[in-house]
Structure 1
């Protein structure tokens, strides 16, 4: 037989198997209130994204009212720089990742008018390169994640026409691989995180027909391990965040019925912490807001009735996108 040992986890018989919604809401509500907490200060360099994770998961659980709207909107305004972009926290450098998070938060709160939208649009436009790709910030790292961040930000603002969409599409398609997947740049290996970004990008730009959905769907389904969990690429351990990236990509390309939903649900639920609330990457590990959002959002895509429907492209509640009239394409 030989072969390599499959990397996977074993789910213990006493692992949580029901959704502990109230515990998760309490965990997220308390997280931001402990401002001098070591863990909180440690995450300063991604504070803006942290707020997006926390608010989105609270909204999906119907608990958004427990978060401090005014304080959050003031924080966002204080993170917009003269160039139009947003930083993770006050005094940090602006970046496309945090600019998308800021716009997602303001969209959740129906308050995009709190910021200078034209300057945001100028900032995003200024990061597009000759070949259609996008840099994440003025230092210039190119990655298909940033192509997604750029078009997602502009679509939420209703300003997708501000960039050269055809060129942007051309670049993303040049990152498609023979296995149907996508990498961060042309020639880079396929990875579930990049595939989520590229299928999301093609959805927003109306170009999903360019994907080989059967080939890509097969690659994504092969991410499911015997435990039910999903990994990001071959030979890696499962992680709750991939239950979002892989599942959302499958939903976008119309192949979500190809995986074993019941086993994936069991894996996600086993990553909950029954004491503290929250989700970890794997059963028994430390919980954090990042994995808590992607665990809950994954369960929403799996059809959990206790959670609001989530949009697979924007990772935001469907009702929020309906309110602004945004309906990104999905393959059937």
Structure 2
């Protein structure tokens, strides 16, 4: 399907039918101009590393990564690394697995992974694994399947997954399996409610450690398909409203288990289109709401995973471009694109 909006950047474009490519590029590039006196600047200050990853990857999908200053970004990312190898969300914050993975992803996209002491990063990641196979997010001890995904993804991207011996791998697989519920979805810890976001992290982690055999693909596929609402959008759990971010969490998991064709891709595409801001660019969580970089990224990921419009391919496991992964010789046996 073609996108005829690339060369036209005026408000006459029907955003319910076209991707506002140039406006999205402008929206992401101008995020860096947020002023310190702005409320939004401070409420997102601790998420700057994640925001940088979402923005850069959005530009990658839109084939506009060269719009950002590579050297400035690399130097800022490296300034957020702590002495133990972990990365913080911003210079003045503590290190965390979430921001550490984002830092590695950013450096990979900018072809600067060689600037990193990868052994030190790997040591930090490994130090957070617990006896039951789970991972703390940081030194304060919170456990969540998000952190398991961050740990194995980070190690894999640096080519250091072999630092996890068979015993550690089996404990990771067992912990994730204990987070699986009767509906085949996954929660943040054993016994927690199934959630599409947590389901992606568990499916992604199992894909990376080559344990997709633990998943009941048909039952999980059915639960994920039930997330699609009559308006075409997806929710994260039963009785919730639709949200563009699930265009990543649900669609990525369906892609990994080869069940993406079980939802109505066209209806989802149309829902994401309606969530675009026709004036400023960017994508919101719901039609008519204010856009943000988080939902812009996940909306564009949805388009890419469903192969709509002329966009770069995003990998559903690593949330990085397939071209980036191939450059680093990272391949997963289930993904025929790699």
TM-score, normalised via structure 1 length: 0.94
Partner of 1:24: 24
1-side partners of 2:183 and 2:213: how far apart? 16
Q: Secondary structure of the equivalent of 1:287?
A: coil
CA contact (8 A) 2:244 2:284 kept: yes
Candidates 277, 281, 291, aligned match of 1:273: 277
- The count of residues paired between Structure 1 and Structure 2 equals 319
Give CA-to-partner distance per residue, 1:93-125, whole Å, 9 cap, x none: 100000000000001011112121111000000
Candidates 228, 231, 235, aligned match of 2:235: 231
1-side partners of 2:37 and 2:263: how far apart? 40
Give CA-to-partner distance per residue, 1:137-166, whole Å, 9 cap, x none: 010101111000000000000001223222
Partner of 2:34: 34
CA contact (8 A) 1:204 1:329 kept: no
The RMSD of aligned alpha carbons is: 1.3
CA contact (8 A) 1:251 1:330 kept: no
CA contact (8 A) 1:254 1:330 kept: no
Partner of 1:43: 44
2-side partners of 1:191 and 1:331: how far apart? 24
Q: How does 1:6-155 map to 2 (within 5 A)?
A: 16-36=16-36, 38=38, 39-155=40-156
Partner of 1:296: 300
| Residue 167 of structure 1, CA deviation | 1.3
| Residue 16 of structure 1, CA deviation | 2.2
Partner of 1:11: none
1-side partners of 2:104 and 2:37: how far apart? 27
Q: Secondary structure of the equivalent of 2:33?
A: coil
1-side partners of 2:279 and 2:104: how far apart? 33
Candidates 251, 268, 277, aligned match of 1:247: 251
Could you tell me which runs of 5 or more consecutive residues in structure 2 were left unpaired when the two chains were aligned: 1-13
| Residue 236 of structure 1, CA deviation | 0.5
CA contact (8 A) 1:253 1:331 kept: no
Q: Secondary structure of the equivalent of 1:280?
A: coil
Partner of 1:10: none
| Residue 37 of structure 1, CA deviation | 5.8
1-side partners of 2:291 and 2:96: how far apart? 26
1-side partners of 2:200 and 2:281: how far apart? 27
TM-score, normalised via structure 2 length: 0.92
2-side partners of 1:302 and 1:170: how far apart? 31
Q: Secondary structure of the equivalent of 1:92?
A: coil
> CA, structure 1 residues 37+27, in 2 after alignment: closer, same or farther (shift >3 Å)?
farther
Q: Secondary structure of the equivalent of 1:55?
A: helix
| Residue 168 of structure 1, CA deviation | 1.1
Q: Which moved more, 1:25-34 or 1:188-197?
A: 25-34
